[in-house]
Amino acid sequence: MKMMNHGKIFGTTSVGERGQVVIPAEAREELNIKPGEKFVVFGDARKGTVILVKSEIMNKFANFFFNKSKRFEKMAQEIFDKTEDKPEEEEEE
């Protein structure tokens, strides 16, 4: 099949009566797609594109950013705690 910069064209497919799309066998084999595997479906109506991403990949991606977000939140809190204006002690007269 034809190679692209970031992937490969595996052929064509069509949408059946029930909205099902058959992924070509070569793609299923090379991408290790098993029956029953879940996908997240992205689309762009203006461009007429549909993208399928394995759910497990999206979960890893989401967890990565969630963990980074937690670290960022912790760092931001530490910075805030260090720079927070502390009440000055009353001067003794």
Question: For 16-45, how does the pLDDT look when each residue is reduced to its tens digit (9 = 90+)?
Answer: 999 999 999 999 999 999 999 999 999 999
- For residue 11, being part of any structural domain is answered with no
| Helix residue ranges, H only, the chain | 25-30, 55-83
How far apart, in whole angstroms, are the C-alpha atoms of residue 56 and residue 37?
9
pTM of the predicted model over 0.75: no
Residue 7 inside a domain? The answer is: no
* Cβ count within 10 A of residue 44: 9
Which residues form the domain of 58?
Answer: 38-83
- What is the per-residue pLDDT across 36-80, written as a single tens digit (0 to 9) for each? 999 999 999 999 999 999 988 888 888 887 777 777 778 777 877
Which residue is associated with the tokens 């720079």?
83
Is 52 inside a domain boundary? yes
The shares of helix, strand and coil residues in the chain, as percent rounded to the nearest 5, are 40, 15, 45
- The verdict on residue 26 lying in a domain is no
